[in-house]
């Protein structure tokens, strides 16, 4: 399997929403994604495409915050393509962009109960940096803030 990363466009929205809905119990809405696709100077979005099928199999939305930090606002991989290196490829791209922007680190939130994601990020060097009490609503749960120093 070969994966190509490319910028996301509005035409990708249905595929993004399909992945989002099977990945999260409280998925982002179409409007939220549309907002993130509008250029604002700090937001970027890219997708992972399976070159054999042309299908979008993952996506990542990031914010470059004052050239100091990269925040991963949303990232997901289609269930059929998990544990095949797609997530790692996208995180490596975020790291590349962070270094290019001379960012000090990368942050994201993850559900406290999501042990699979927490282990994935730990293996990539992310460390727990804080907690957001009641961050998630469906179901109600704290988020752990993870950070990778660059």
Average pLDDT value for residue range 43-49: 97
Domain containing 110 equals 3-149
- The count of structural domains within the chain is 1
What CATH number is associated with residue 75? 3.40.630.30
The model's pLDDT over 111-122, given as tens digits with 9 standing for 90+, comes to: 999 999 999 999
Arithmetic mean of pLDDT, 135-142: 92
Q: With a cut of 90, say whether residue 66 has pLDDT above it.
A: no
pLDDT, position 64: 92
**pLDDT interval class at 65 (50, 70, 90):** confident
Instruction: Summarize the confidence of residues 26-44 as an average pLDDT.
Output: 94
Ranking 8-12, 60-64, 136-140 by mean pLDDT, the lowest is: 136-140
Reported pTM: 0.95
Give the pLDDT band (50/70/90) at residue 68: confident
Residues 6 or more apart whose CB falls under 8 angstroms from that of 100 comprise: none
Q: Report the pLDDT value the prediction gives residue 67, as an integer from 0 to 100.
A: 66
Mean pLDDT computed over 52-76: 93
What integer best gives the mean pLDDT of the chain? Answer: 95
What pLDDT does 76 receive?
97
Task: Name, in order, each residue with C-beta under 8 angstroms of 61's C-beta and a sequence gap of 6 or more.
Answer: 33, 36, 43, 44, 45, 72, 73, 74, 75
């Amino acid at each position: 399997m070969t994966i190509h990363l490319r910028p996301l466009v509005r035409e990708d929205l249905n595929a993004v929403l399909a992945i989002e809905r099977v990945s999260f119990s409280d998925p982002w809405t179409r409007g939220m994604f549309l907002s993130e696709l509008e250029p604002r100077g700090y937001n970027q979005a890219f997708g992972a495409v399976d070159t054999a099928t042309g299908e979008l199999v993952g996506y990542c939305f990031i914010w470059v915050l004052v050239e100091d930090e990269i925040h991963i606002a949303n990232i997901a991989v289609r269930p059929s393509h998990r544990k095949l290196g797609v997530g790692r490829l996208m995180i490596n791209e975020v790291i590349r962009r962070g270094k290019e922007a001379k960012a000090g680190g990368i942050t994201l939130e993850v559900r406290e109960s999501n042990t699979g994601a927490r282990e994935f990020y730990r293996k990539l060097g992310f460390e727990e940096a804080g907690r957001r009490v009641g961050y998630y609503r469906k179901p109600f749960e704290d988020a752990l803030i993870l950070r990778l120093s660059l």
